[in-house]
Amino acid sequence: MSLLGKIDKARIPEHITIIMDGNGRWAKARGLERVEGHKQGITALREVVEAASKVSVKYLTVYAFSTENWDRPSEEVDALMELIVYAVAKETPSLIENGVRVASIGDLSRLPVKTRQSLQDCMDKTAPGNGLTLVLALSYSSRWELTEAARAIARDVKNGLLSQESITEKELSRYLTTYTLPDPDLLIRTGGEKRISNFLLWQLAYSELYFTDTFWPDFGEEELYAAIFDYQQRERRFGKTSEQVKSK
């Protein structure tokens, strides 16, 4: 029986983020090249996007490629960039049909021109979508993002566009790449590791964390529902007491 029937449709997390880990280990366990794990990971992402849309998740942000990933062997990086081009082009018609809008965060200037153009084409074509927003974190890391924000704030203070006294948490958030998105309600990490790996450090301050040993290529619809169901069993207090939350 599907876990879908156990999920409270009135308490679906608005924004889910996923660290899609375990592609390489999935492939290695099967005697395959690492890139085969990444290919299977695309299939998993398609299934998760469809499942998230089915339960009316509004935002799904996936950690697709970190700034640290540029240090991997060049053969793997090149293969990943080509795979992104292929996957984005292949999936665009289905995304349009399902009303999924694609967005991206990260230092996209580092992406190969072909990859960047393919991504931009997908974002342009899916822009009218009014369903799920799928955010691809590419060439992204939180320390990079916070460093860029600090530089932008320093420039604006120097140019008289911002005063030191007006720098609040809310104001700082406006300088982040995620400024148009709500903070994540739920972070899912696959692959058995229990860390957040330089991902959305500011935004995850009060997110619920869910770790699973399942490698990303094996993560699908039911695994997403299991994470959402687990999330719904928790009490989110945001620094308040349990009594305060219940009273509210």
Q: How far is 187 from 90, CA to CA, in rounded Å? A: 27
- Catalytic, 124? Answer no
Beta bridge partners of 135: 61, 103
Catalytic residue among 8, 21, 130, 218: 21
Give the long-range contacts of residues 163-172, CB within 8 A, separation 24 or more.
172/202
Tell me the CA distances in angstroms from 81 to 89, 93, 135, 191, one per residue in order: 13, 20, 17, 22
Strands 59-66 and 101-105: unpaired
Catalytic residue among 69, 156, 183, 230: 69
- Catalytic, 213? Answer no
Q: What proportions of the chain, in percent to the nearest 5, are helix, strand and coil?
A: 50, 15, 35
Radius of gyration of the chain (CA): 19
Closest to 215 (Cα-Cα) out of 15, 27, 17: 27
Q: Which residues are catalytic?
A: 21, 69
